[in-house]
Amino acid sequence: MDITQPRRKKAKRTNEQRKAGREATAKMYERINEERRKYKAAIRSLAEEFGTSEEFMATQMYAGGTLQKHKKKETLFNAFLHDRAKRAQLDNGTSLPGGTSALGILSKDVSQHGHWNNLPEEEKERLIQQLRDDKEAEEKQKSEKVLPKQQGNDIESTMSSVTAKVDAFITAGLPGSIKVAGKGQVNQMRTEVRRLVLEGLQEAVIKKNELEGFDDGEVPAQMNYDNYESRIVCKWGVELIGWTEETIENPAKITTTLGLRRLLVALEKKDCYWCILAPEVLAVRVNEMLKRVEEGKEKTRKKRKDAGVSRKQQLGKRKRSSPEEVHSDADDSDSA
């Protein structure tokens, strides 16, 4: 008689356990994102340094080496055997005496005596180099024949390559084998630049507020590229250092992929960062900005027509516009 054990109910977790679990999960993903940003920064840096695409560098970093390279290492034994066979062929005139069976006999003879391992270093290097040169010469001369085994190897290598590229895409968030349009990639870099600039700005202002004793102080909701000096530097007392392009401007105005990548790498490596201005330095910057405004060299923010009027009052005014008033205007136009 088959008696099945009753299924045990899973113990319910307490609120404290659930809270601890959520915090642990959030911390885990925070660390994952941190390491992923470092990984992506390394990929961009290497791609820029060596003039390659990020897709190629991401694949190489994930795969751990050059893909689809299947070359046997030249050993001293094979080099010595190749030299003996080559000499025998030269003595015979065309091919090795005895055909393919003679090569097996020669290989057995060389392996049993073992004196090939006691050769001088220069002779060892010469034999190995000779084997490499002869292999390369043979590859250039022969016509490629695709055998079923080679086809299988090629398919296996291709699948391994695709797997590595997809894994690189998942790991680094980069298009490994999945190609995206050039415009999409540029837009992605611009979005990342804006995010890093804004996050750095907010972190700097929060730190400045804490140093001044305002833990709940105001923090900028967005970055103002067009009025950077007046609306960011002079208002918040912070400055962006290490901008890689000529002037600090909206990333949308940076039209080259190289420029965007250079700036993104600098932001991720913290070569481009926000710093808090000393009070005396900030005072000088404010005075210089006001002087430029007086001279008409810097535009000030235009005053809104409804400045000083609350949002509720504006909405109420719109609601009071009755259909009768609109209709009377229409009547006047008809009578004209």
Whether 133 and 193 map to the same domain: the answer is no
Residue 47 has pLDDT above 50, yes or no: yes
- Does residue 250 form part of some domain? yes
- Does residue 171 form part of some domain? no
% of the chain residues with pLDDT over 90: 24
The pLDDT score that the predictor gives to residue 333 is 38
Mean pLDDT of 79-84: 80
Give the closest residue to 56 by CA, choosing from 162, 165, 160, 166: 165
Give the closest residue to 205 by CA, choosing from 193, 191, 221, 192: 221
Q: Which of 2-11, 65-74, 172-181, 310-319 has the highest mean pLDDT?
A: 2-11
> pLDDT (tens digit, 9 = 90+) per residue, 6-16?
666 667 778 88
Angle at the Cα of 325 from the Cα atoms of 320 and 330, rounded to 5 degrees: 150
- Does residue 242 form part of some domain? yes
Residue 133 has pLDDT above 90, yes or no: no
Contact between 157 and 70 under an 8 Å Cβ cutoff? The reply is yes
Residue 327 has pLDDT above 80, yes or no: no
Query: Does an H or E element contain 158, and which?
Result: helix 148-172
Burial of 264 (0-12, 13-18, 19+ CB in 10 A): buried
Q: Lowest-pLDDT range, 192-201, 296-305, 311-320?
A: 311-320
Residue 298 has pLDDT above 90, yes or no: no
Domain edge (last residue) among 294, 309, 326 = 294
Q: Count up the domains in the chain and report the number.
A: 2
Residue 307 has pLDDT above 90, yes or no: no
The pLDDT score that the predictor gives to residue 227 is 92
Contact between 46 and 57 under an 8 Å Cβ cutoff? The reply is yes
Whether 118 and 198 map to the same domain: the answer is no
Whether 261 and 189 map to the same domain: the answer is yes
Whether 120 and 190 map to the same domain: the answer is no
**Residue whose structure tokens are 């659930």:** 18
Whether 200 and 284 map to the same domain: the answer is yes
Whether 284 and 229 map to the same domain: the answer is yes
Range of the domain at 82: 76-141
Choose between 42 and 233: higher pLDDT.
233
